Amino acid sequence: GDSVTQMEGPVTLSEEACLTINCTYTATGYPSLFWYVQYPGEGLQLLLKATKADDKGSNKGFEATYRKETTSFHLEKGSVQVSDSAVYFCALSGDQTGATNKLIFGTGTLLAVQP
């Protein structure tokens, strides 16, 4: 079945460091790919998404490119801030026929940014 694998954390960085959180997926069809972020004590919120191969999602300085050839959707940011400390989830959704939009999540990666 469909699945998402993301790097285990925690990832600890100093402020202004570069961030990469790896995410790879296994899926049939043509899934949409997402990064969700969960701040302490809150629910998940969408950070960015990409709906087809070679699309790049971006938001708040974060980027991720849908790479079909490597089945990857790595999250990157050039300069992290303390406020980026959170748990990041990679997820995939159903194919574009609209059969389903239920999400399959990775295990989450805790990012801790130190001043």
Return residues touching another protein (CB under 8 A): 31-32, 34, 36, 41-46, 49, 51, 89, 93-96, 98-108
**Smallest distance from the beta carbon of 36 to another protein, in angstroms?**
8
Residue 34, phi-psi category: left (phi > 0), alpha (psi -120 to 50), beta (remainder): beta
**Smallest distance from the beta carbon of 62 to another protein, in angstroms?**
16
- Compare residues 70 and 100 and give the one whose CB is closer to another protein: 100
Q: Among 68, 55, 76, which Cα is nearest to 7's?
A: 76
- Compare residues 8 and 15 and give the one whose CB is closer to another protein: 8
Q: Among 1, 16, 96, which Cα is nearest to 49's?
A: 96
